[in-house]
Structure 1
Amino acid sequence: MSDSLPPDLLPPMLRTARLALRPFSDADAADLLGIFGDPEVVRYWSTGVWTDIAQAEAMIAEARQAYRDGGLYRYAIALRDTDRLIGVCNLRGFFEQNRRCELGYALARDHWGRGYAAEALEALLGHAFHELDMNRIEADIDPRNEASARLLEKLGFRREGYMPERWIVHGEKADTAFYGLLRRYWDERGTSARPSVRPPTLPLEP
């Protein structure tokens, strides 16, 4: 089973008050399909709605391989009390010389509006700046996605640019808004305490 990969081949676990950002388990596939099979979750994504469990299994396999290759930190966002996956977040597009990477995220719709996305991303961003030594983190979103824009701005991102008709999203032309967060912006915010960092373990320990 790929769940038994050695810890040094998996990203470290990040823990917050309510969440664990952990490596994916094979058992997460059904919850992943539920997230990316929801048209509302992927409403502003250039990819289509998932329809097959094989797509979730492919994401899990890709996350493991890409971490080993050094190109992607993709985490399962899980509730600490149940270990159920409720979302994903990732750092990708690493430019080592410039200490820069890109942020991505998605959350199950039945967990929107509870502060989970902000809690998870605050942990991931703190890890990126202070443990991975990133200087700049970027994100691009569909400007119609007002909730995502509010989330990024709450975390300290600043809107830096706009590109019209950059994507075709579900058959329609869609614009992109670019956001950036510098480490000095992050440090100036006086963010909350860093998350606890633990070696990865599967299944999640209490």
Structure 2
Amino acid sequence: MLTGALTLPTLETPRLRLRWMTEADIPALFELFSHPEVTRYWSWSAYTERAQAEKLLENIHKHFAERSLFQWGYARREDDRIIGTCTLAELSGQHRRASLGYALNHAHWGHGYGREAVARVVEFGFTSLELHRLEADVDPRNTGSIRVLEGLGFQHEGYQRQRYFLNGELQDAVLYGLLRPEWRPDSAAS
């Protein structure tokens, strides 16, 4: 999986550039993950200190070097400022699968950027990485994220009761999966 590469490849969409993140992106990462609505259904609470975003970037680079996580920052082409992240985690070459995760800055919700970024990473996973399965878990109250997954052809596979304890509450998760034979490359445009 990208043997020998020092950074992730840049992926392009009509409006976005999904790219390797650097120290210059720390303020945008902090802005993204410090918003309580963005992290409402995330696997950690909202950031309160810039050092948390610094540690995140450090971990992104470390796990990429191990080939266990590929996390792109995505930016609008017009200004190249990171507005979200899209991740392939728990990468397994043996089983040809990965978990999908994504986040979008609250200021950019409702414009289709998340779907556009996720569709491009799904394509990369199935074509360049030759994965067979992608999966994602999502809080059942996160209707926007569910729309993204279902719109890209992901199938509802299960319900995980009280999977996370975040922000003082137990949260359920819904598991979605997409197999390579089910993937529709044109689904990004629909």
Name 2:118's counterpart in structure 1: 121
2:145 pairs, out of 130, 143, 148, with 148
- C-alpha separation in 1, matches of 2:99 and 2:43: 17
Q: In the alignment, is residue 106 of structure 1 matched against residue 112 of structure 2?
A: no
In the TM superposition, what is the alpha-carbon distance from 1:8 to its structure 2 partner? 2.4
Aligned partner of 1:135 in structure 2 is 132
Identify the match of residue 179 of structure 2 among 182, 185, 189: 182
Spell out the pairing of 1:8-157 with structure 2 (5 A cutoff): 8-157=5-154
Is 2:153–2:187's contact at 8 Å kept on the other side of the alignment? no
Aligned to 1:198: none
1:147-189 CA-partner distances (Å, limit 9, x unpaired): 11111101110100001111112111111100000111114x6
Instruction: Please give the alpha-carbon distance, in whole angstroms, between the structure 2 residues aligned to 1:178 and 1:40.
Output: 21
- Pairwise CA distance, 1:48: 1.3
Partner amino acid, structure 2, of 1:121: V
Cα distance change on mapping 1:126 and 1:51 into 2, 3 Å? same
Identity of aligned residues (%): 42
**Separation in 2, partners of 1:105, 1:155:** 14
TM-score (norm 2): 0.94
In the alignment of these two chains, the number of paired residues is: 186
Secondary structure at the aligned position of 1:150 is classed as helix
Q: Which runs of 5+ in 1 are unaligned?
A: 1-6, 194-206
1:158 maps to: 155
Gaps (5+ residues) in structure 2? none
Output the aligned Cα RMSD.
1.4
What is the alpha-carbon distance in structure 1 between the residues aligned to residue 164 and residue 81 of structure 2?
A: 32
SS at match of 2:183: helix
1:169 matches 2:172? no
Higher relative contact order (CA 8 A, sep 6+): 1
Match of 1:83, SS state, is coil
Structure 1 residue 115: Cα displacement: 0.5
What CA distance in whole angstroms lies between the structure 2 residues aligned with 1:96 and 1:147?
Answer: 30
Does the residue aligned with 2:5 lie in a helix, a strand or coil?
A: helix
The answer to whether the 8 Å contact 2:152/2:187 transfers is no
Task: Give the distance between the partners of 2:126 and 2:93, measured in 1 at CA.
Answer: 13
Aligned-pair distance for 1:192?
5.5
Q: Distance in 1 between matches of 2:188 and 2:161?
A: 36
Distance 1:192 1:48, change over 3 A: closer
Deviations 1:89-114 (A, max 9, x none): 10010121110110000000010000
* Residue-by-residue CA offset, 1:18-61 (whole Å, 9 max, x unaligned): 10000002111111111111000011123111011111111111
Taking structure 1 as the reference length, what is the TM-score of the superposition?
A: 0.87
Q: Which moved more, 1:101-110 or 1:58-67?
A: 58-67
Post-superposition CA distance 1:104-161 (Å, at most 9, x none): 0000001000010011111111010000000000000110111111111011101000
